Structure 1
């Protein structure tokens, strides 16, 4: 199988000369307090990784491309343990049911004990893993770059089933994180499909096309679903590049909402809106279940922003220069800005209550709290 992958930032610009928009002064109304910060290896490394920490209970777990793995108390930042695994980590982190899970460039899924950091098992899969494996304590589900969704036994790592999908000739570098909801696994694929399978045996429950390839050339026909599916009120929301934004019934895949939109990031929801970012780093708010645009902000044009995340009444994104931007969910104005990592912020930001956890590209993990 011959497949070419592109990084997202190599495709999205209005022409060959336009530069990222310079930041303008803002009326700063929000200043987050830095609670703690810690270093985790070399962060995202040299590849276009989008490693994201994971929170489970009182702890947050983070991994770096050089194999560094660490657990911190999410309130104080106190180190619970550190491991130098030397694994080429590219997919992570998943954390649940007493396990910490990562995927690697050399096609492995590796499980560690949450309490000690000791390795529990390592399992070979079909190709490299670029998103976080997920578990419910019985099964581990992981998506590989060759279009396979794989179920593993959570206790042993033994393979239980494989669901296969076709992979186009050209693709963005990255895969969406599978959504594990009860006995259903939902995943998006590089061919523009989203599918739901039975978590016990991998049997297909339903599938729906999010995007249809158009254009004469392969590069015009890229339609990856790279943003993570999110679940709200029994509806799975998903986006695709050069395609659509959709809301689908978890049980049967029926489309309950949809509109045209091109995004390689994960959607966010809050205050009755759906928030999404396009390939030019414009941030948009759409009223849920409609196509009505509530507001749009292009102040960060071409700044390669991360997926949006909601907290309190605000929205947060990071950019390629390492700035964290805080926007009002009401009207989209930028009301706060702090620089956290000069190497940039690419991975998704985590929000829990009034606290944000930001993993910068250099490996700096920072917890910030709304006063």
Structure 2
């Protein structure tokens, strides 16, 4: 099994041969103290989740009862990665390793500083003298490991390799922008995308560049359609990576040569892709789609349109595809044809959809802005605060033993049986 495939299995294990038809009643839900932007991780009979409250918690998979809690000293906004009994994750205070059995801190590495993308008059929002943070830049770089190192990107523009046991620096490579996209490893190659619009392939041993691939820049819309937030998928010697330039790229792992790209139109592709049996599945932002593409050609087989941004990766579970969106709705699709088998709404969506979403049940910026000036940064901040009332799902479900575990920005982790 390739390391990239192993990493996907650890993050998104599922009952491969199960036939599911829908969601059962919520088995349990547990508050974790802050918004959840990353996927849970399974370890033995524990489900481990990080939150924006700055802690990492392990809960009993059967009951949701707390087993241990560890302070993360900052919001957990980089997808945690489990490697044997060690959990690696990032916060705005740096990157950490903890013992997954008890939450004991093993090491901490301080980068040159982690922060959201930002600037004065960001994307021409007003007032142009005000420093603004990108309200959609929800994640830091998801780490990856091999048998020696842990790798991740940083807001300080570097891609890092640390000894995974001690946390000591082995090498770092400087790009020309923040690296908030996750890292993938395969056959001694490290792959990561930077906000400088390049996808980099580095030698795992020393950080030397093997190749780099330039994605599109955006001068027309003041750089809003550029940057990389997703984690690369390595499948059949090909890298699949979506970007804010509206495209999903398929690149040769060894050379970086483009095989094809799929253009979503205007939306970003923020979430990571998953693959099975020659198909690539990925979500889009403003078109609210989950699409099924041919891995060899990029041909679109089908899409499912929901009501909000799809920022998290989908999860394959038996005959189904599970994913959530920013409106707080969880979808179950038939993998073969994209038919919606079932949906389940977060409590916030059930309570607030009538006021937060438009009459068609869609996220609609102008609907929420009302009479406010859409050019003002504060209008965007207010808009996002309204969306968070819905309990957005911004990460992948994790499935084991017929139960899906899903985190929500409403601050709860949910255990949902599949039937």
How many residues were matched structurally? 330
| TM-score (ref. length: structure 1) | 0.79
Select 1:40's aligned residue among 32, 38, 58. Answer: 32
Partner of 2:194: 189
Partner of 2:151: 141
Q: Within 5 Å, give how 1:275-354 maps onto structure 2.
A: 275-279=281-285, 280-298=287-305, 300-303=306-309, 306-342=312-348, 343-352=391-400, 354=402
Checking the alignment, whether the CA contact within 8 Å between 2:34 and 2:410 is kept in structure 1 is: yes
How much does 1:103 deviate?
A: 1.6
Where do 5+ consecutive residues of structure 2 fail to align?
1-19, 116-139, 349-390
Partner of 1:31: 23
Where do 5+ consecutive residues of structure 1 fail to align?
1-27, 45-49, 169-173
Distance 2:229 2:259 in 1: 21
How much does 1:177 deviate?
A: 1.5
Matched, 1:90 2:82: no
Distance 1:212 1:143 in 2: 20
Checking the alignment, whether the CA contact within 8 Å between 1:281 and 1:305 is kept in structure 2 is: no
Structure 1 pair 76–131 and aligned structure 2 pair: CA distance change class (3 A): farther
Select 1:109's aligned residue among 95, 100, 109. Answer: 95
Distance 2:325 2:413 in 1: 15
Q: Secondary structure at the match of 2:78?
A: strand
How much does 1:233 deviate?
A: 2.3
CA distances 1:147-193 after superposition (whole Å, capped 9, x unpaired) = 3111112222221111111128xxxxx82211133532211122332
User: Aligned Cα RMSD in Å?
Assistant: 2.7
Distance 1:232 1:76 in 2: 36
| TM-score (ref. length: structure 2) | 0.70
Q: Within 5 Å, give how 1:1-371 maps onto structure 2.
A: 29-32=21-24, 34-44=26-36, 50-56=37-43, 58-74=45-61, 77=64, 79-106=66-93, 108-128=94-114, 130-136=140-146, 138-167=148-177, 175-209=180-214, 211-219=215-223, 222-261=225-264, 262-279=268-285, 280-298=287-305, 300-303=306-309, 306-342=312-348, 343-352=391-400, 354-371=402-419
Structure 1 pair 259–87 and aligned structure 2 pair: CA distance change class (3 A): closer
How much does 1:57 deviate?
A: 5.2
Tell me which protein shows more strand as a share of its residues.
1
How much does 1:82 deviate?
A: 1.8
How much does 1:350 deviate?
A: 2.7
Tell me which protein shows more helix as a share of its residues.
2
Partner of 2:126: none
Distance 1:216 1:320 in 2: 27
